[in-house]
Structure 1
Amino acid sequence: MRALSGHLDEGERTVGVHVDLSHEAATPPGCAVAITVELAEVDGRRLGFTVETKDDAAIVCRGTHRRAVIDLRRFEERLADRLPEPAEDPA
């Protein structure tokens, strides 16, 4: 999300739609890891990222992450429609 800062129009946000990651090595507790994310594909409002995580000894994890650019106001309206009706106060 930080990588997209400054690249979205006013009122736009992104939401994750898919994550596919391998787990290739364990990192001992307390060791640092570095995560590299690269925007690899833009298909209309869909964004595809490659992800790689390394520690000092090995690649720990790699894969892909897809996000969609959404209109925040419309998204929040749809969510509001899915909320349950509040219970009536018996008093």
Structure 2
Amino acid sequence: MIEVGMTYTAEKTVTPDMTAKAVGSGGLEVFGTPFMMGLMEYAAMQCVQPELPEGKGTVGVEISSSHLAPTPVGMKVSATAEVTGISANGKMITFKVTAHDAEGLIGEGTHTRAIIDNARFLQKCNDKLARV
């Protein structure tokens, strides 16, 4: 059962392919914001996935985040997601997300995920190809 207060933390070591320069979101070889937000989403997904029935998953529908401090290649980063709300119908989950490196907080924000039926979601996605 998904409950408010559940948390999950994911960790990675920043590699050259995770930099702003590598992804094209900036010109410097520092931890890129898209990768920070991706790690935040991953933490949120992992936070609730074990509580979902077989064949169900979550997809990100909204994320709002600040990126407060740079992190160099070679330093470990972590992202923590905490469930802060569940919609009345149980299909939408909101999270507080934070990211840290060895020096402290590097990012924070909010994230929302929708619970989906994996097969139905993929079918809806793939049906787009038939229409174009």
SS at match of 2:122: helix
Give structure 2 stretches of 5+ with no counterpart.
Answer: 1-44
1:41 and 2:95 matched: no
Q: TM-score, normalised by structure 1?
A: 0.81
Alignment partners' CA distance in 2, 1:21 and 1:57 = 19
Structure number with the bigger relative contact order (C-alpha 8 A, sep ≥ 6) is 1
Q: What's the counterpart of residue 23 of structure 1?
A: 67
TM-score normalised by structure 2 residue count: 0.58
Structure 1 80/34 Cα, relative in aligned 2: closer, same or farther at 3 Å? Answer: closer
Is 1:4 the equivalent of 2:81?
Answer: no
After superposing the two structures, state which structure 1 stretch, 69-78 or 15-24, moved more.
69-78
Among all aligned residue pairs of Structure 1 and Structure 2, give the percentage whose two residues are the same amino acid: 38
Q: Which runs of 5+ in 1 are unaligned?
A: 86-91
> Which one of 34, 52, 75 corresponds to residue 98 of structure 2?
52
Residue 70 (1) aligns with residue 127 (2): no
**1: CA distance, partners of 2:62 / 2:116:** 15
Secondary structure (helix, strand or coil) at the match of 2:50 reads coil
CA RMSD of aligned residues (A): 1.8
1:84 Cα shift? Answer: 3.9
1:33 is aligned with what amino acid? Answer: V
Q: Could you tell me which amino acid in structure 2 is paired with residue 63 of structure 1?
A: G
Q: How big is each residue's C-alpha offset from its partner over 1:46-90, in whole Å with a ceiling of 9 and x where there is no partner?
A: 0111111112223100001110001122212211220146xxxxx
Equivalent-residue separation in structure 1 for 2:118 and 2:102 (angstroms): 39
The alignment covers a number of residue pairs equal to 86
Relative to structure 1, the CA distance from residue 76 to residue 29 in structure 2 (aligned partners, 3 Å threshold; closer, same or farther) is closer
Write 1 or 2 for the structure with the bigger share of helix.
2
**1:61 and 2:107 matched:** yes
Structure with a larger share of its residues in strand:
1
Runs of 4 or more, structure 1, over 3 Å off, are: none
